[in-house]
Amino acid sequence: MVPLAMVKSGEVNCIKKIGGKAEMRQFLESLGFVVGGVVTVIAWIGGNVIVNVKESRVAVSREMADKILV
């Protein structure tokens, strides 16, 4: 498992685990980041990562990307 923050653009990955405090996990889940879900990194812009999750594009901070393990 590696953090989403270390994944290259264009790679399709399966979410294995979501770390962090309960509040952050709930927030990420509301955005569509759930264990077993598929996530694709689109681009890195200014330290934030743009990802495609559940057919939506979402931007998350580097800190949040470090909590998502794929």
Domain CATH code at residue 53:
2.30.30.90
| pLDDT at residue number 47 | 86
Confidence of residue 64 (pLDDT cuts 50, 70, 90): very high
**What's the predicted TM-score (pTM) here?**
0.87
User: If you write DSSP's letter for every residue of 6-67 in order, what string do you get?
Assistant: GPPTT-EEE--EE-S-HHHHHHHHHHT--TT-EEEEEEEETTEEEEEETTEEEEE-HHHHHH
The one-letter code for the residue type at 57 is R
Question: Where in the sequence is the domain holding 45, given as residue range(s)?
Answer: 4-69
Percent of the chain with pLDDT over 90: 79
Confidence of residue 28 (pLDDT cuts 50, 70, 90): very high
Number of domains in the chain: 1
| pLDDT at residue number 46 | 87
Q: Can you tell me the distance from the alpha carbon of 14 to that of 64, in angstroms, rounded to the nearest whole number?
A: 16
